[in-house]
Structure 1
């Protein structure tokens, strides 16, 4: 064996511009001319670029160890312990994988497919509604980390914070910014230790991966907190960064190769095979790190003991010694033994979850669009990922299906005409909907809303602003929100004569009988309140309204409401938000209080009502901050007994009660899946729910007799519900 070179000269620079976007030419040169290439970056490492060398090294864990903090660059800072199973070797690695493997079986992951699909549709829906957007910022950035949170039973509300912190770690590592790297690592570790502390308050559940790591043994002993936190830390970084980049690469490829996109639309069964090929060509992780335990000769070059070695899986997957026409994307390639998820004992444990996300995302993207295309040049991720960091795309929504009155997914739908479009305030348009035949519309009550099914099968809910006295038409009012989910932008593009599918009204915010009413509204929150005022007027029931907004021009229907002496208007631009405690204190004790508006307004009003000991009926446009956070000691996995059906149903982390019940053929109505609309309200007969909704009052939650089956979990290992 030749002697190793003590001070090798640099063969390549992984951070050079030519490696950034499309490194295929660089990889080809290295494989042909310097298959074991030295780089001075990240304290120096050797890069193996040929398929044969990478796979042989991946199998030889005795020589190429993962157990000595081998990521390139270091992912966690030197003071942190290794993150199992990726940063440990057999036999501990094997035993650890045995514990984790059952959570990555197709059957386990299939149970959370409905929530993965809803996540994809919601995010893609925003892209389609906006028309032109950065697909990374609007879609690929969010989907994988939300799925990771769902899988681990972590609140999705924390997803953006986790993702942003992890990205700071990756960027700081690539830039050599040790201070930021350490600060961001400290932040994410503190968060994960908090998750672990909360989960320890619940008893062991073998269906919960975090619970299993807490209570089960690996290689004859219990895992330490550091072991468990390291694994969660690994999942949160490795499990979403790669998928984000791969999703971006798939969208970019299909947007720039129209024939490939058309083929997948025509042959959807080809999607999994096509994804495997795109994984090969656009492998999202460039390398996996190892360290040599002895001097080893590879391709005539001696790599000294103790050297850091990068197994360049992205370069190996493009090796024409292994793959014919390796640089070309060929959806018909068979066999396709790519190593995008690694090779050997350290092959990615989460590969099945990643594949499921990619498949669902592509299926939904193709089903919700007629086409998508790039509108500008992408920007690229930093080392060690490969994929777009910015991807400007125009999404063409799926053509509207105008098939008349139908029933889809349990909803009555009809095609309606846009009969009128009227501005009723700055950025707010009123849309009048009529049937094509001028037929009488289904009955509805004050507080009802309708769902508009927009092009791309994007569903958005809007309150009816007119009462049921005239059933010839429906009216909705929509505020255009620049930072919303995109539906309002699409609605504001509608014009008279356009057609839209509309689902029949549902009332989740009903006006109950009372001796009098006190209504509160802020901004566009006036929409469900208007028909309630009309109903109170018609019944001769006393009412009053406090209407809050920034300025006169921003308050819809103000001219109508100011005709009533019971209306008090508060302009926040002049005097700030009114003292809600003071306003509540003047409310008639017999009055029922109804409110709708912005999140901040409703939070303040709810707090004031609680201090006054008053019940508040509120409709929330979005979940309350923190509402979906699990309580200390809550169960992410538990059993639900369906009393009427006489069935026991297992609910696993990330799975809603609704989805778990659907597995056994029991349908619980659901719409929002975020705990805001109340359509899934469920009677609880035994057990204590962990309430994560935003519509039950504090008193109703404390009674533990009702729960939102779409988001809530359990404080006990068993719930009995009336289904």
Structure 2
């Protein structure tokens, strides 16, 4: 890392040139891309829960979970839902064709799978993607596991048939709303179970409901990944505050309509970032002093309570905290 009196330069994230080997329809409005390295080399091993950045041109970068077999390193697979009101990422992916070149990041993991005797996986819609490698790992390790997978209809549920064929209905419970209504989360999660971890991914509404049901579970039992950072209500801190850049002594004011990332970039400080939406963890920054208000979808509750790091693309100073000192 190089530092001057006015600029901090973050080391660029490692990228890989790939080619789209296949584009497949995984479900209604869901495409699956199979990616291979342009140089023909295998990918490095990665762990369940990992994702990649996909560079889609004109500064558009989006994060997608890996859902390919862990040991088949000749390719990587992602599944992408087309979202009508998205910011352009899903539309761009759905326009890609086999043979097209892409640049991606090395896989990284903000949703790691911890060791446990038992697992309960809960997926909503495209939230199935990061859970597929976890299921594979749990099965290979001989763990006790179950998947509850909900969606609007069977036609919209990517990889459902493949999972049923491989693991069978004793392990996989498919709940299509148009056939059986919504998941009965009280029945699924109402009774805490010993030595079990819950891994859940899906829409924010579903994850919020799961969090409520798991409040009586042992601390650390629930692990979630969101595709959209949490929206905070009117009570959230939004007033201007100051950020002191500890490496240079520079102080910048962060107004109500800008992020910390925006404010420091305006004074010549470059921070490694990708999604700019609190989803990828790239801009994680150490807090030297001050109290943050976390608005990301990456940090665990333990990380938030420790107050040692924050994601500067979305998080701010907490109400009543006029200044943050950051390791920038």
User: Offset of 1:498 from its aligned partner?
Assistant: 2.4
Q: Which residue of 2 aligns with 1:422?
A: 24
Alignment of 1:340-351 (within 5 A): none
Contact 2:229 2:295 in 1 (8 A): no
Matched, 1:631 2:233: no
- Secondary structure of 1:432 counterpart: strand
User: Offset of 1:425 from its aligned partner?
Assistant: 1.7
Question: 1:677 aligned to 280, 296, 307, which one?
Answer: 280
Alignment of 1:95-494 (within 5 A): 410-494=12-96
> Is the helix fraction higher in 1 or 2?
1
Cα deviations across residues 359-396 of structure 1 (Å, max 9, x unaligned)?
Answer: xxxxxxxxxxxxxxxxxxxxxxxxxxxxxxxxxxxxxx
Distance 1:466 1:714 in 2: 39
Q: Which residue of 1 aligns with 2:200?
A: 595
Cα deviations across residues 75-127 of structure 1 (Å, max 9, x unaligned)?
Answer: xxxxxxxxxxxxxxxxxxxxxxxxxxxxxxxxxxxxxxxxxxxxxxxxxxxxx
Sort the Cα spacing of 1:488 and 1:659 in 2 relative to 1 into closer, same or farther, 3 A: closer
Q: Compute the TM-score of the two structures, normalised by the length of structure 1.
A: 0.40
Matched, 1:707 2:310: yes
User: Which protein shows a greater Rg?
Assistant: 1
Q: Which residue of 1 aligns with 2:158?
A: 556
Sort the Cα spacing of 1:669 and 1:512 in 2 relative to 1 into closer, same or farther, 3 A: farther
Distance 1:452 1:496 in 2: 15
Question: 1:573 aligned to 161, 165, 178, which one?
Answer: 178
Cα deviations across residues 260-294 of structure 1 (Å, max 9, x unaligned)?
Answer: xxxxxxxxxxxxxxxxxxxxxxxxxxxxxxxxxxx
Contact 2:83 2:90 in 1 (8 A): yes
User: Offset of 1:530 from its aligned partner?
Assistant: 0.7
Distance 2:38 2:324 in 1: 47
Distance 1:588 1:454 in 2: 43
Contact 2:243 2:326 in 1 (8 A): no
Sort the Cα spacing of 1:416 and 1:640 in 2 relative to 1 into closer, same or farther, 3 A: same
Question: 1:535 aligned to 130, 137, 140, which one?
Answer: 137
Matched, 1:622 2:224: no
Q: Compute the TM-score of the two structures, normalised by the length of structure 2.
A: 0.82
Contact 1:641 1:718 in 2 (8 A): no
Q: Which residue of 2 aligns with 1:86?
A: none
User: Offset of 1:712 from its aligned partner?
Assistant: 1.6
Contact 1:465 1:527 in 2 (8 A): yes
Distance 1:666 1:443 in 2: 33
The root-mean-square deviation of aligned C-alpha atoms, in Å, is: 2.9
Q: Which residue of 1 aligns with 2:4?
A: none
Contact 1:649 1:661 in 2 (8 A): no
Sort the Cα spacing of 1:502 and 1:699 in 2 relative to 1 into closer, same or farther, 3 A: closer
> Is the strand fraction higher in 1 or 2?
2
Distance 1:456 1:648 in 2: 31
Distance 1:412 1:711 in 2: 23
Unpaired runs of at least 5, structure 1: 1-407
- Secondary structure of 2:129 counterpart: helix
Whose relative contact order is higher, 1 or 2, with alpha carbons under 8 Å and at least 6 apart?
2
Distance 1:415 1:691 in 2: 34
Question: 2:212 aligned to 603, 607, 626, which one?
Answer: 607
User: Offset of 1:443 from its aligned partner?
Assistant: 3.3
Q: Which residue of 1 aligns with 2:6?
A: none
Contact 1:445 1:467 in 2 (8 A): no
User: Offset of 1:550 from its aligned partner?
Assistant: 1.5
Cα deviations across residues 478-514 of structure 1 (Å, max 9, x unaligned)?
Answer: 2222332333233223232222222322222222333
Distance 2:289 2:39 in 1: 50
Q: Which residue of 2 aligns with 1:657?
A: 260
Q: Give the count of matched residue pairs.
A: 313
Sort the Cα spacing of 1:550 and 1:587 in 2 relative to 1 into closer, same or farther, 3 A: farther
Matched, 1:640 2:247: no
Sort the Cα spacing of 1:640 and 1:610 in 2 relative to 1 into closer, same or farther, 3 A: farther
Sort the Cα spacing of 1:705 and 1:460 in 2 relative to 1 into closer, same or farther, 3 A: closer
Contact 1:467 1:535 in 2 (8 A): no
Distance 1:646 1:541 in 2: 50
Which segment is superposed worse, 604-613 or 546-555?
Answer: 604-613
